[in-house]
């Protein structure tokens, strides 16, 4: 676990006040910089010590075979694994021949600061070498959100009280030694030495390397250039080898003198272009970066983030730790996606090798949900990646004997990479999650061009899958049998409610879009009979309900299963998947993550208020939250049904998932969906944001401990600001045409002329139900006391 005393609580940054070498891997994830194309883990500049050295390019992977003890038809034959690309972060320093290493000599000061507004990682160190030479090192690292292929480092060394002879080695390094592999299936198997050298060069202050993977046949080029400022005696030389490019700077500094270095690094990759074309690409990007200059890169970064925060910022009064956490979360969600541009948004973003760098359905269900209302143009690119991957999804469906598109459970390129078919192949809900993201994006933006060009085909091909996968029973109900819903502890189930309701939405949306775009439909061979079949399947969809218990069964007969023995399951047995066979989990009532509860959020229209309360109460007792995807959704629905204190507890769990390393795997990368879930818990939970036909609705409710919540929403070219307190909610239209919104069920019209203030009614301020549902033994979220109570507890 990460000691919170290592980090100060500040509203606009994450500041590390004490270096703990035992927690380097976790801090490297927290301090990662990315733009969705390039990812740099927050390793120390000098490279050693490190937990997991990481430099990544979105879409760069290596293949590895998937061995099976018993082969089966339709099993994926190979996996795609994210790999460490050329490391351009390294700046090694020798002080009178002694390497600067925080493990030796005396580290008298060390601070790192991730600045959410400037978009940089800043570090300041004071170190005394074993031979008593004192220096100060400051560095600022940036991965450009504006210039997609560019990263840069500003590095300074100052002699404090004696003359020192310095050697600075700025490097590009390929095929770094990976860490030992882990037995946790959530952690990737990192491949040894995946790169074959194809070219290397150096000249003056420049160096470049080009490599190719052995199996995936991808080429990657990396180049670096430098601007060096120091005393007249400063000397610079460059050299290169197959896996190393190095620029060496030698200088003697008198006390108070500084050596200043700006390092520009550029990357490019391709499966098709020649090494010469890649070389020219990174060289051109390097030229633009140098022309922009360090100050120019900083100014571009700040301008980009100022615009982002003006749209997306969430303000909280009453809980400083959650305030910091939500901005940390939004910053990393943006970093994971800003320049991904028709590439996947991985579960760990570009912050580590967890989950082998794969993207899952939570990109569409969680991450794109946030981006649709903050940075919608990024969502279009992400969904265009799914559109580009349609040929593989169509091929996969055909292989499975189905029509339409079967999107993969986990992937980098769009090919299925899951070797475990009950969780992989059977999780057909991924198609409905993609469709839901299309529906949400079009609703949020009104982007009819995207709807026509991309959305139409995505909705049609996913609808065809459902019509092919399901069948009618003797009662005329449309059934979808033998599937795995979001809850991975309940595989190969009949009529999973989440899957069926999301498929129902998918079918209706496909029928609507097919009728709106008849020419595009003719191109896709959609006729009136197929549209009618989609509507009929949607209208007759089987949605299991247990009349005896008065709740929806998560899937057919689920509520008849034996209850898991929670009382006999000790805290050391979680997560259950690492301690019990799936066979036992599948036949018991135990829920890994929000499933039916997620359906109540995403298909809010399909449940009555009474059903929501009953369902939430029932499944709260069964949900163990062995997934980071669960807490934020439980927060949303707990808030809606009136359990505000419990919702607050779940908000804190989602928000602190990585800052507190609650799942003990932050070391291999951040949980991007849980980070997105922090926004979801606040805006959809306590802000009550829900989509309404051609509009938005809000039902704000605040827990004790949060005295004010304000957040921005982008909707159809407009910028809104919603501010809620225990007394009133204020709606402001910052930019755009007048808009009708809903405050609870009251229609209000916003214009830029003046805000609309809705006073809190007695119904809206009603207290939580007297009886709050319990959780499985030992799995209740940590109770979140209001700030005043936490401060009192800390002082005593």
Between the CA atoms of 514, 516, 522 and 523, what dihedral angle is there, to the nearest 10 degrees? -90
Longest dimension (CA), the chain: 90
458 closest CA partner among 482, 485, 440, 445: 440
Q: Using CA atoms, how far apart are residues 469 and 629, in angstroms rounded to an integer? A: 27
Q: Using CA atoms, how far apart are residues 283 and 481, in angstroms rounded to an integer? A: 54
120 closest CA partner among 152, 92, 149, 91: 152
142 closest CA partner among 89, 100, 92: 89
Burial class (CB in 10 A: 0-12, 13-18, 19+), 777: middle
Q: Using CA atoms, how far apart are residues 495 and 553, in angstroms rounded to an integer? A: 9
Residue 536: phi and psi, rounded to 5, are: -65, -45
3-state DSSP assignment of residue 146:
coil
Q: Please, how many CA atoms are within 13 Å of residue 349, restricted to the half-sphere of its CB?
A: 34
Burial class (CB in 10 A: 0-12, 13-18, 19+), 619: buried
Q: Is 421:478 a contact under the CB 8 Å cutoff?
A: no
Beta strands in 129-173 (DSSP E): 134-143, 150-159, 164-173
Angle between helices 456-469 and 528-539 (to 10 degrees): 60
The DSSP secondary-structure symbol of 365 reads I
Q: Is 650:635 a contact under the CB 8 Å cutoff?
A: yes
Angle between helices 390-399 and 456-469 (to 10 degrees): 10
Q: Is 682:326 a contact under the CB 8 Å cutoff?
A: yes
Q: Is 325:4 a contact under the CB 8 Å cutoff?
A: no
Q: Is 125:137 a contact under the CB 8 Å cutoff?
A: yes
Other Cβ atoms within 10 Å of 161 Cβ, number? 12
Other Cβ atoms within 10 Å of 778 Cβ, number? 14
Residue 14: phi and psi, rounded to 5, are: -115, 115
Q: Is 409:360 a contact under the CB 8 Å cutoff?
A: yes
Q: Using CA atoms, how far apart are residues 212 and 663, in angstroms rounded to an integer? A: 35
What is the rounded end-to-end Cα distance, in angstroms, of the chain? 23
Q: Using CA atoms, how far apart are residues 66 and 419, in angstroms rounded to an integer? A: 7
Q: Using CA atoms, how far apart are residues 224 and 205, in angstroms rounded to an integer? A: 8
Q: Is 326:314 a contact under the CB 8 Å cutoff?
A: yes
DSSP alpha helix (H) spans, 274-375: 275-312, 320-337, 362, 368-371
Other Cβ atoms within 10 Å of 661 Cβ, number? 19
Give the residue carrying structure tokens 């990682």: 121
Q: Catalytic residue at 488?
A: yes
Spot the catalytic one: 488, 556, 640, 723.
Answer: 488
149 closest CA partner among 277, 32, 284, 59: 284
408 closest CA partner among 356, 369, 372: 356
Strand order in the sheet with 756-759: 314-317, 708-715, 718-724, 728-735, 756-759
Name the residues annotated as catalytic: 488
């Amino acid at each position: 676990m990460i000691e919170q005393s290592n980090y100060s609580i500040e509203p606009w940054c994450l500041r590390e006040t004490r270096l703990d070498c035992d927690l380097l891997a976790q801090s490297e994830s927290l301090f990662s910089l990315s733009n969705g194309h390039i990812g740099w883990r927050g390793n120390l500049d000098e490279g050693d010590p490190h937990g997991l050295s990481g430099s990544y390019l979105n879409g760069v992977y290596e293949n590895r075979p998937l061995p099976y003890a018993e082969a089966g038809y339709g099993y994926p034959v190979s996996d795609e694994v994210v790999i460490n690309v050329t490391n351009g972060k390294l700046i090694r320093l020798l002080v009178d021949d002694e390497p600067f290493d925080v493990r030796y000599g005396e580290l008298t000061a060390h601070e790192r600061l991730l600045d959410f507004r400037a978009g940089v990682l800043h570090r300041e160190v004071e170190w005394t070498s074993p031979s008593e030479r004192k220096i100060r090192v400051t560095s600022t690292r940036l991965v450009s959100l504006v210039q997609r292929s560019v990263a840069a480092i500003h590095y300074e060394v100052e002699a404090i009280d004696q003359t020192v002879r310095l050697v600075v080695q700025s490097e590009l390094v390929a095929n770094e030694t990976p860490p030992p592999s882990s037995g946790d299936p959530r952690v990737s198997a990192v491949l040894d030495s995946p790169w074959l050298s194809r070219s290397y060069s150096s000249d003056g202050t420049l160096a470049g390397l080009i490599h190719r993977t052995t199996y995936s046949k991808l080429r990657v080029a990396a180049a670096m250039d430098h601007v060096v400022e120091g005393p007249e005696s400063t000397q610079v030389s460059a050299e290169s080898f197959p896996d190393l490019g190095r620029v060496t700077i030698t200088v003697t500094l008198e006390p108070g003198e500084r050596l200043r270095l700006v390092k520009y690094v550029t990357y490019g990759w391709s499966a098709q272009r020649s090494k010469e074309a890649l070389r020219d690409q990174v060289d051109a990007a390097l030229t633009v970066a140098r022309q922009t200059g360090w100050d120019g890169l900083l100014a571009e970064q700040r301008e980009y983030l100022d615009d982002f925060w003006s749209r997306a910022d969430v303000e909280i009064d009453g809980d400083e730790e959650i305030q910091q956490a939500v901005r940390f979360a939004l910053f990393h969600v943006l970093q994971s996606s800003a320049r991904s541009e028709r590439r996947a948004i991985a579960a760990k973003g570009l912050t580590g090798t967890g989950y082998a760098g794969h993207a899952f359905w939570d990109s569409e269900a969680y991450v794109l949900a946030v981006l649709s209302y903050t940075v919608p143009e990024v969502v279009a690119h992400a969904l265009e990646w799914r559109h580009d991957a349609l040929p593989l999804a169509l091929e996969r469906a055909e292989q499975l004997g189905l029509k339409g598109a079967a999107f993969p459970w986990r992937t980098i390129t769009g090919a299925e990479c899951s070797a475990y078919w009950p969780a992989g192949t059977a999780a057909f809900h991924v198609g409905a999650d993609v469709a839901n993201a299309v529906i949400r994006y079009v609703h949020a933006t009104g982007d009819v061009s995207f709807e026509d060009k991309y959305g139409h085909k995505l909705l049609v091909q996913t609808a065809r899958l459902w019509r092919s996968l399901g069948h009618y029973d003797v009662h005329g109900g449309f059934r979808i049998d033998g599937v795995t819903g979001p809850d991975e502890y309940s595989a190969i189930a009949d009529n999973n409610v989440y899957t069926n309701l999301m498929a129902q939405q998918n079918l209706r949306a496909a029928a609507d879009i097919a009728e709106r775009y008849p020419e595009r439909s003719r191109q896709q061979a959609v006729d009136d009979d197929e549209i009618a079949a989609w509507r009929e399947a949607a209208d007759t969809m089987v949605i299991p309900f247990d009349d005896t218990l008065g709740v929806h069964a998560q899937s057919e007969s689920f509520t008849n299963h034996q209850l898991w023995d929670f009382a006999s399951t000790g805290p050391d047995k979680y997560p259950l998947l690492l301690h019990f066979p799936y066979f036992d989990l599948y036949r018991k009532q135990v829920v890994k993550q929000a499933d039916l509860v997620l359906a109540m959020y995403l298909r809010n229209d399909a449940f009555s208020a009474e059903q929501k309360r009953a369902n939430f109460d029932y499944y709260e007792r069964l949900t163990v939250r062995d997934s980071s995807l669960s807490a934020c959704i439980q927060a949303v629905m707990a808030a809606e049904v009136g359990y505000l204190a419990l919702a607050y507890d779940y908000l804190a769990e989602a928000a602190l998932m990585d800052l507190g390393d609650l799942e003990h795997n932050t070391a291999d990368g951040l949980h991007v969906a849980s980070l997105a879930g922090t926004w979801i818990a606040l805006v959809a939970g306590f802000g009550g944001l829900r989509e309404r036909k051609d509009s938005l609705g809000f039902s704000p409710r605040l827990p004790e401990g949060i005295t004010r919540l304000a957040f921005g929403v982008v909707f159809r070219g407009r910028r809104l600001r919603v501010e809620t307190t225990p007394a009133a909610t204020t709606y402001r239209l910052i930019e755009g045409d007048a808009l009708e919104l809903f405050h609870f069920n009251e229609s209000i019209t916003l214009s830029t002329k003046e805000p609309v203030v809705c006073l809190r009614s007695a119904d809206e301020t009603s207290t939580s139900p007297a009886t709050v549902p319990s959780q499985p033994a030992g799995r209740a979220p940590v109770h979140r006391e209001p700030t005043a109570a936490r401060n009192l507890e800390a002082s005593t």
